[in-house]
Structure 1
Amino acid sequence: MLQYRQMATRAAKSAPRSYDQYCAVARGLDVIGDRWTLLLVRDLLLGPKRYKDLLSGLPGIGTNLLAGRLRELEGTGLIERTVLPPPAGSTVYQLTEAGQALEPAVVALGRWGARFLGQPRKTDVMVPRAYFVAMRGVFDAQAAAGITETYEVRIADLVFEVRLAGGRLTTSERRPSNPDSVLTMDVDTLNALMFRQIKPSAAIAKGRVKIEKGDHKALERLVRIVAFHSRLSSAT
């Protein structure tokens, strides 16, 4: 209880605006309701990030606005700064326990928001990190039953880990130590695969996906487990 009181005090001091309602929904929106805030949380769900990584991964945010949002999230106790061990030694931002607790809400919001996606607009940017958080929401546990496998997925200069074990899926932005499969593609291809607009075999045959390690069936297994459901795919 003391922890929640302390967080409430920090939130009251850090929130730039408030609905001034004694309501948990309103108070939660005081903390995370500003533009860009939940997208920062979304990206940090994949692991710690440097300032420049967050900036490059959120086109349009602007450096001053990003700095302000990070200060607010630090002030409310949702993120913290830490220094990576050598040889990196970089200062990174990471979610606290309270920030990590937003994962179910972010994943659920993604599932709910998918109905409004439609076709990509001309101004839309496909952000690789968004897809690896989305995988958590569309993950097919039945299709993953009995599969223990680690995938390294390379998109431009970003590297992601997708791990399947015990009927569960985890995704993170890092290089796995010993992946079973290594796949290289661009974000347009990832989008097409997840929305079932291209078959894995066709993506490989056309050179849109390169199998750096593992067998060609690995991509089929991954898509079967993390692609959007057919009803959503046809709607978009």
Structure 2
Amino acid sequence: MDRTYNQFCATARTLDIVGERWTLLILRDLLTGPKRFSDFQNSLRGLGTGLLAARLKHLEHEGLIRKITLPPPARTPAYALTEAGDELGPAILELAKWGMKWAMGERREGEAFHGGWAVLGLRAYFDPSAAEDVRAIYEFRISGEVFHAIVENGTIETIVGPAQRPDAVLEIDDEVLIDIAAGRTTFGQAVREHRAQASGAPQAILALVSMFRAPQPQSRRQPGQA
């Protein structure tokens, strides 16, 4: 029998569905596009094959994900979000924003990191007010992973894979991204210090620097608290 909080409450009902360990991280990975079983195994180190299969089966049963076949040339089985699963995206991004401010700190020994997770970081950092008049396509190359972002009048769409005709291209490695996540630098500082390479239309690059604002990390503990 599935575990339940046994409460007639929207928050409790939601946690009944997505509150188990690893579940939200599976949904996080699917926010950047369909994933094969092997993709989850590569991204979610520490999640055993049996438990992964059980979590995917649960999410499919609950109507948050569905099985698909990737288009040619892959033609392999994969998983994608349903409409209900996709609508959890803003909640997951809000958790990410909270975590950047209150939970990240320094990278711990043994912690995995994938440059592709920056796709969601871009959406979490995005400042719509700074992009009201921007229409541009950006390609990001991060330690061998490529994705692009379409910015149009205060909105952003992030897609795994290269852009056809990007207005600007940003190349950055994992270590710089980790420094950004820890609050030690920003996209703009990394470009100015030549730790990240930006090429393309100068106006698009200038807009890129101002559109993404990471929150300043804060301590959860009160002054004097051990």
Q: Do Structure 1 and Structure 2 share a fold, with TM-score over 0.5?
A: yes
- CA contact under 8 A between 1:193 and 1:227: conserved in structure 2? no
Q: Which residue of 131, 150, 155 maps to 1:168?
A: 155
Alignment size in residue pairs: 219
1: CA distance, partners of 2:151 / 2:131: 7
Distance 1:119 1:186, change over 3 A: same
Pairwise mapping of residues 186-201 of structure 1 onto structure 2 (< 5 A)?
186-193=173-180, 197-198=184-185
Pairwise mapping of residues 1-236 of structure 1 onto structure 2 (< 5 A)?
16-114=2-100, 115-193=102-180, 197-198=184-185, 203-204=190-191, 208-211=195-198, 213-215=199-201, 218-229=204-215, 232-233=216-217
Please, which runs of 5 or more residues in structure 2 have no aligned partner? 221-226
Q: SS at the partner of 1:142? A: helix
Q: SS at the partner of 1:191? A: helix
1: CA distance, partners of 2:138 / 2:19: 34
The Cα shift of 1:180 comes to 1.4
Please, which runs of 5 or more residues in structure 1 have no aligned partner? 1-14
Report which stretch shifted further, 214-223 or 131-140: 214-223
The Cα shift of 1:79 comes to 0.2
1:8 is matched with which residue?
none
2: CA distance, partners of 1:235 / 1:127: 25
User: Per residue, is there more helix in 1 or in 2?
Assistant: 1
1: CA distance, partners of 2:52 / 2:59: 11
Report which stretch shifted further, 136-145 or 158-167: 136-145
The Cα shift of 1:120 comes to 2.4
The Cα shift of 1:100 comes to 0.6
Distance 1:221 1:122, change over 3 A: farther
Distance 1:113 1:195, change over 3 A: closer
Q: Percent identity?
A: 37
TM-score (norm 1): 0.80
Distance 1:113 1:205, change over 3 A: closer
- CA contact under 8 A between 2:104 and 2:182: conserved in structure 1? no
- CA contact under 8 A between 1:21 and 1:27: conserved in structure 2? yes
Q: SS at the partner of 2:171? A: strand
- CA contact under 8 A between 2:146 and 2:161: conserved in structure 1? yes
The Cα shift of 1:97 comes to 0.5
Q: SS at the partner of 1:126? A: coil
